Amino acid sequence: MIDLYAAPTSNGLRAKIMLDETGLDYRLHVVDLAAKDNQSPEYLKLNPMGLIPTIVDPDGPASADGTPFTLSQSIAILEYLAEKSGRFLPDHLATDIHFRRDILGIATDMTGVLMAVFTIGRMENAHKPTMDDFGARFNRYMKYWDGLMADRKCVGGDEVTIADFAFYPVVYRAKAVTPQFTEGCPNIDRWYAEIGARPGVQKGVDFSQG
Ligand SMILES: N[C@@H](CCC(=O)N[C@@H](CS)C(=O)NCC(=O)O)C(=O)O
């Protein structure tokens, strides 16, 4: 059974949604970031950067020192679980460099900027021009994606793939915390409602069972 260490953030939701969508057997360990559980000596052994998510798969590839297979980085986790389950990453996309570019853009540019928006927003006396700049940047990325999604059903094309599970948590968290920066994106809104109606995605965003 896979052990998932995560919190309900953009990066954490990616891994949990993928596990719930694939139906792979797993156990959730909720990492309380506010309590700094991610800095505990036990957790740092799994992920020396102290970041979530991390998975441990005793049935994964063998390691030289015999320790169970351990993986961090939400996109690497999506790819690993896609390979393990044989779902959500068809061969023609696994080798498509533009698909990879798009997923990495979502994970690095969009998620990074959203994390900056949230971090600044939590600060006492937050510097408003900086917040507005990052917020506007995030909205520009949203508009870029909204344009692409005018003529595709899903993020990576017309089928549901790991790109949808990479993108959904970003929009989900942005809508929950800073909805003003998600405005003016009707194509994303249409897709968001469709993906959000999937039972696996609904289960994926629910951390109450951890
Ligand atoms: N690139 C990493 C980012 C992981 C990351 O930044 N996780 C955040 C939560 S979204 C975290 O663990 N923050 C805790 C901290 O910075 O102390 C991924 O995709 O998994």
129 located within any domain: yes
> Are 14 and 96 contained in the same domain?
no
> Are 100 and 172 contained in the same domain?
yes
57 located within any domain: yes
- The candidate with the shortest Cα–Cα distance to 82, out of 14, 150, 184, 176, is 14
Once rounded to an integer, what is the mean pLDDT over residues 183-194?
Answer: 97
Orientation angle between helical segments 74-85 and 97-105, nearest 10 degrees: 140
Domain span including residue 118? 91-198
Report the alpha-carbon distance of residue 152 to residue 25 in Å, rounded. 32
Report the alpha-carbon distance of residue 76 to residue 74 in Å, rounded. 6
pLDDT at position 40 is: 98
Which residue out of 17, 30, 51 has the highest number of ligand 1 atoms within 8 Å of its CB and is therefore the one to mutate? 51
> Are 57 and 121 contained in the same domain?
no
pLDDT-derived band of residue 15, with 50, 70 and 90 as boundaries? Answer: very high
Could you tell me the two tokens for 120?
Answer: 């600044």
> Please, what is the average pLDDT of the chain?
96
Please report how many Cα atoms fall inside a 13 Å half-sphere around the Cα of residue 109, on the Cβ side.
14
What percent of the chain clears pLDDT 90, i.e. is strictly above it? 95
Please report how many Cα atoms fall inside a 13 Å half-sphere around the Cα of residue 164, on the Cβ side.
29
pLDDT-derived band of residue 210, with 50, 70 and 90 as boundaries? Answer: low
- The candidate with the shortest Cα–Cα distance to 166, out of 110, 125, 209, is 110
What percent of the chain clears pLDDT 70, i.e. is strictly above it? 100
Widest CA span in the chain: 52
> Are 67 and 116 contained in the same domain?
no
* pLDDT digits 0-9 by tens, 82-98: 999 999 999 999 999 99
Per the structure, the count of domains in the chain is: 2
> Are 82 and 101 contained in the same domain?
no
189 CA distance to ligand 1 middle (Å): 26
* Entry pTM: 0.95
Residues recorded for the chain: 210
pLDDT-derived band of residue 52, with 50, 70 and 90 as boundaries? Answer: very high
pLDDT at position 64 is: 83
Orientation angle between helical segments 111-122 and 128-148, nearest 10 degrees: 150
CB 19 within 8 A of CB 26: yes
113 located within any domain: yes
The CATH number that applies at residue 185 is 1.20.1050.10
Atom of ligand 1 nearest to the CA of 51: 12
